[in-house]
């Protein structure tokens, strides 16, 4: 093997898809003999995320650094940039890979300062949706996309995790100036196993962050409509954490849906998937959500909004796709999944395609090749 690389991943919040993505890359690259570290926020996440960090720590030979990192980009970031710079410089990285808008800013700014000081380091950025969800027509959106364009000067390569993300970047920011690659999110071999439902399972489950962008409110409203469509009481769970938990609980009670609909805190994905045979992903916006891949690999039915890269997984004409933000359409599909015995078999893509196209080893290998391509270019220039 060539000289092992020293890879640092920078991101803000250790929750959701970005955290899953980084954990998979860290594990795969560590198993391949490379040295990996993480720099992320210390103010977000809870007991569930702490347990996930404990699982990944054996693969982090460059350590785990957590420090306060604000959500929005501002001059208040200077302490985080300075502390991050000192920490990262001491680790002598070959690659700085930023994830999300904030992680991308930290990795590229710090990487550029290291380059000025004669360090040879690859600066890589993956947006994971994030800033690309803003409207180009809004003042904030125009400011965000201008910042993205300016930061291309500090970037050696962009990674898009789905075709939707690549097209959104080109439409809102412009054709990328640095080299870019499309590398789909992938899941591990151990994820491809049927997860049986519990004896006390529910009809539908929502798994994810409790915030409006992800659509828990749409799920709750669609559940009530689904009951009326099928003409009998049903059951559902929302599983996840977030500051809007109490708002959704009030919505459930006000709609007369309690206790048929309940809310549980975030838990291991295997435990969450055991709660139901049908997973609902009612997001208003997405990039490439892992929950869709995880649910399909576990032989679950998936009903999802036709947003982001989800149609690239389920298929553009899938019966499991609902119009974004359309409660009536979501309820229609939820009712079909309950009343039509062959719905899941008919509507879901084959596992062979998921296994081939959305594999964590393939993802990690393509990302690693990009790292080495950048470093080879730097060495030859």
Chain Cα centroid distance, residue 362 = 17
Q: What's the confidence (pLDDT) of residue 188?
A: 95
Asked if 34 and 4 touch (Cβ cutoff 8 Å), the reply is yes
Residues written for the chain: 381
Tokens at 371, concatenated? 């790292």
pTM value? 0.92
Asked if 122 and 378 touch (Cβ cutoff 8 Å), the reply is yes
Confidence of residue 55 (pLDDT cuts 50, 70, 90): very high
Residue 82 pLDDT exceeds 80: yes
What Cα–Cα distance (Å) separates residue 122 from each residue in 66, 84, 233, 372? Answer: 22, 16, 56, 9
Judged on CB neighbours under 10 Å (0-12, 13-18, 19+), 63 is middle
Which has more confidence, 84 or 61? Answer: 61
The whole-angstrom separation of Cα 39 and Cα 90 is 13
In the beta sheet, which residues pair with residue 96?
8, 123
pLDDT tens for residues 190-248?
A: 999 999 999 999 999 999 999 999 999 999 999 999 999 999 999 999 999 998 999 99
Please count the helices (runs of H) and the strands (runs of E) in the chain: 15, 13
Contacts of 216 (CB under 8 A, 6+ apart): 206, 208, 210, 238, 240, 244, 248, 282
Mean pLDDT of the chain: 95
Which has more confidence, 76 or 272? Answer: 272
Asked if 191 and 23 touch (Cβ cutoff 8 Å), the reply is no
> Token pair 């690999």 is at which residue?
297
Query: 321: helix, coil or strand?
Result: strand
Q: What's the confidence (pLDDT) of residue 73?
A: 65
pLDDT tens for residues 258-271?
A: 999 999 999 999 99
Confidence of residue 71 (pLDDT cuts 50, 70, 90): confident
Tokens at 159, concatenated? 């990674």
Phi and psi at 276, nearest 5°, equal -160, 160
Q: What's the confidence (pLDDT) of residue 74?
A: 64
Chain Cα centroid distance, residue 1 = 31
Measured over the CA atoms of residue 99, residue 100, residue 103 and residue 105, the dihedral's sign is: positive
Which of 19-33, 67-81, 108-122, 184-198 has the least mean pLDDT?
67-81
Query: 82: helix, coil or strand?
Result: helix
The per-residue b/e assignment along 371-380, b for 16 or more CB within 10 angstroms, e otherwise, is beebbeeeee
Mean pLDDT value of segment 183-188 = 96
- 6-186+359-380 adopts what CATH topology? Rossmann fold (3.40.50)
Residue 187 pLDDT exceeds 70: yes
Q: In what order do the strands lie in the sheet with 321-322?
A: 261-264, 236-239, 204-207, 278-281, 301-305, 321-322
Which of 211-215, 302-306, 377-381 has the least mean pLDDT?
377-381
Mean pLDDT value of segment 328-336 = 99
Provide the residue ranges of all domains of the chain, joining segments of one domain with +: 6-186+359-380, 190-357
With pLDDT > 90 as the criterion, what percentage of the chain qualifies? 88
What's the chain's Rg over C-alpha atoms?
21
Contacts of 107 (CB under 8 A, 6+ apart): 8, 10, 96, 97, 98, 123, 124, 125
- 190-357 adopts what CATH topology? Rossmann fold (3.40.50)
Run of H or E residues at 304: strand 301-305
Tokens at 241, concatenated? 């954490």
Choose among 97, 78, 113: nearest CA to 183.
97
Tokens at 148, concatenated? 């993205």
pLDDT tens for residues 104-120?
A: 999 999 999 999 888 89
Choose among 320, 381, 375, 368: nearest CA to 181.
368
Cis peptide, bond prior to residue 87, ω within 30 of zero? no
Mean pLDDT value of segment 146-158 = 96
Asked if 36 and 59 touch (Cβ cutoff 8 Å), the reply is yes
Q: What's the confidence (pLDDT) of residue 255?
A: 98
């Amino acid at each position: 093997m060539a000289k092992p690389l020293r890879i640092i991943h920078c991101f803000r919040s250790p929750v959701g898809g970005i955290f899953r993505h980084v954990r998979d890359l860290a594990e795969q690259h560590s198993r391949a003999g490379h040295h990996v570290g993480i720099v992320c926020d210390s103010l977000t996440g809870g007991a569930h995320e702490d347990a996930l960090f404990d699982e990944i720590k054996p693969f982090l030979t460059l350590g785990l650094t957590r420090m306060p990192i604000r959500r929005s980009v501002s001059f208040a970031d200077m302490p985080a940039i300075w502390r991050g710079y000192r920490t990262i410089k001491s680790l002598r990285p070959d690659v700085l890979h930023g994830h999300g808008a904030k992680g991308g800013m930290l990795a590229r700014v710090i990487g550029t300062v290291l380059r000025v000081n004669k360090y040879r380091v690859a600066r890589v950025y993956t947006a994971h949706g994030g800033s690309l969800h803003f409207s180009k027509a809004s003042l904030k959106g125009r400011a965000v996309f201008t910042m993205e364009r300016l930061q291309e000067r500090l970037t050696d390569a962009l990674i898009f995790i789905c075709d939707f993300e690549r097209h959104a970047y080109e439409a809102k920011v412009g054709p990328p100036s640095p080299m870019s690659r499309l590398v789909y999110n992938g899941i591990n071999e151990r994820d491809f196993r049927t997860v049986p439902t519990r004896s006390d399972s529910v009809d539908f489950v929502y798994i994810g962050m409790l915030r409006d962008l992800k659509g828990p409110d749409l799920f709750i409203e669609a559940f009530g409509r689904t009951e009326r469509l099928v003409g009998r009481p049903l059951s559902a769970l929302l599983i996840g954490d977030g500051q809007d938990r109490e708002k959704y609980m009030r919505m459930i009670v006000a709609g007369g849906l309690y206790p048929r609909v309940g809310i549980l805190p975030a838990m291991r994905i295997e435990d969450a998937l055991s709660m139901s045979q049908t997973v609902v992903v009612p997001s208003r916006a997405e990039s490439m959500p892992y929950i869709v891949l995880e649910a399909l690999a576990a032989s679950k039915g998936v009903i999802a909004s036709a947003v982001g890269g989800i149609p690239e997984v389920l298929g553009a004409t899938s019966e499991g796709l609902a119009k974004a933000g359309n409660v009536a359409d979501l309820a229609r599909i939820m009712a079909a999944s309950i009343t039509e015995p062959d719905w899941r078999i008919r509507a879901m893509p084959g596992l062979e395609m998921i296994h081939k196209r959305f594999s964590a080893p393939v993802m990690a290998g393509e990302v690693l090749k990009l790292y080495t391509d950048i470093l080879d270019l730097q060495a030859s220039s």
